[in-house]
Amino acid sequence: MLKKLVLALVYAARRLRMHFQGHPINVLTGYKLKNVLSKPDLPGRLAKWAIELGEHAIEYKPRPTIKGQVLADFITEVLQHKEKEFLIEQQPQAPPEKGQIWSLFTDGASSNEGSGAGLRLVNPEGHEFTYAIKLDFKSTNNEAEYEAFLAGLCIAKKLGVKHLEARVDFMLIAGQINGTYKAKNDVMASYLSQAKKFLILQFSSFKVIHIKGSDNKSVDALSKLASTNFEHLAKDTRVEVLDCPSIPQNQVLVIQTGVESWMSPIMAYLSSGDFARRKGRGSEN
């Protein structure tokens, strides 16, 4: 019964989306829907519906006298034979093959100069897509990390990714999404809700894995680059690799071997310890 009531509320929110988004909604019910939808360990469909309803300002209140529910009860009884049309059972899906999984690496950085996000998306064939995003608004380091994560999810969605493994070096994101950490303030709760909504509704399968910072150096460099003030740089700036210093090197005199000169005795002494006299110079003792 609880699943039916939640599903009915989901359909009402979809059909009356404009009203649900523009006004606070009071739900009068004799069931403890609020307690059910606020549980952290909801099964698959209920978790999906809870996230979908979480974007609306819904307040659950006790139902008044039964007279106010006569029409709703009547409609429910009449449509019981059509419940199969409303309750769509989700068939369990087989785990994705290794060749179908994309990998997402994200990192965010915040400093006095600004905030930025870096991300790297790798397809099953190993081809990489890298992005550096400047956050043109004030944000904390936690918010920058979540912005990088959400930006990666948006790009993955646009590329048609169905199976995703997100690898983040920020323990807070991995812990909150996997349920081991709780969001302690409204901002983090909003980011967490948005991330879960994205993951559940947009991808067939997903996994969020915490990795070491040393395994995420390239994305960390992108986020720090984007967080700096680079407005003075042209948009067509190119990166060039110099393989030698730009200053002139010290000139070294090349000594030719096999030619007799005043250096020959010195070279012979340094190489073999023998001090050979030059021909025609001095007398033998």
Q: What is the pLDDT of residue 243?
A: 66
Residue-range definition of the domain harbouring residue 54: 2-86
pLDDT reading at 210 higher than 50: yes
247 found inside a domain: no
pLDDT tens-digit series, residues 1-20? 778 888 888 888 888 888 88
Q: 149 and 218: one domain? A: yes
Q: 61 and 136: one domain? A: no
Q: How confident is the model at residue 189 (pLDDT cuts 50, 70, 90)?
A: confident
Q: What is the pLDDT of residue 104?
A: 92
Q: 79 and 13: one domain? A: yes
Q: How confident is the model at residue 248 (pLDDT cuts 50, 70, 90)?
A: low
- pLDDT higher at 264 or 151: 151
185 found inside a domain: yes
Torsion 174-179-185-190 (CA) sign: positive
Query: 116-136 in b/e burial notation, b at 16+ Cβ within 10 A?
Result: bbbbbbbeeeeeeeebbbbbe
pLDDT tens-digit series, residues 70-124? 666 666 665 554 444 443 333 445 577 777 899 999 888 887 878 888 888 999 8
CATH of residue 138's domain is: 3.30.420.10
Q: 113 and 198: one domain? A: yes
Closest CA to 153 of 216, 208, 114, 98: 208
Query: 262-280 in b/e burial notation, b at 16+ Cβ within 10 A?
Result: eeebeeeeeeeeeeeeeee
Q: What is the pLDDT of residue 88?
A: 34
pLDDT reading at 159 higher than 80: yes
Q: 23 and 144: one domain? A: no
- pLDDT higher at 234 or 189: 189
Range 237-242 average pLDDT: 54
Q: What is the pLDDT of residue 87?
A: 38
pLDDT reading at 63 higher than 50: yes
Least confident piece of the model among 41-45, 168-172, 185-189, 253-257: 253-257
Q: 71 and 183: one domain? A: no
How much is the CA Rg of the chain, to the nearest whole Å?
34
How many domains is the chain built from? Answer: 2
Least confident piece of the model among 20-29, 60-69, 119-128, 259-268: 60-69
- pLDDT higher at 256 or 109: 109
Q: What is the pLDDT of residue 105?
A: 92
Mean pLDDT score across all residues of the chain? 76
Q: 102 and 223: one domain? A: yes
Q: What is the pLDDT of residue 122?
A: 92
Q: What is the pLDDT of residue 91?
A: 40
From 201, 227, 253, the end of a domain falls on 227
232 found inside a domain: no
Q: 142 and 108: one domain? A: yes
From 227, 249, 264, the end of a domain falls on 227
162 found inside a domain: yes
69 found inside a domain: yes
Closest CA to 36 of 75, 71, 14, 7: 7
Q: How confident is the model at residue 235 (pLDDT cuts 50, 70, 90)?
A: low
Closest CA to 206 of 167, 175, 176, 172: 167
285 found inside a domain: no
196 found inside a domain: yes
Q: 136 and 109: one domain? A: yes
* The model's pTM: 0.52
Q: What share of the chain in percent tops pLDDT 70?
A: 73
Alpha helices in the chain, H assignment, sequence order: 2-15, 17-22, 33-37, 44-53, 70-78, 83-86, 141-158, 171-178, 186-202, 217-227, 264-272
Least confident piece of the model among 10-14, 228-232, 265-269: 228-232
From 206, 227, 248, the end of a domain falls on 227
Q: What is the pLDDT of residue 200?
A: 79
264 found inside a domain: no
What gap in Å lies between CA 136 and CA 90, rounded to an integer?
41
- pLDDT higher at 274 or 50: 50
pLDDT reading at 39 higher than 50: yes
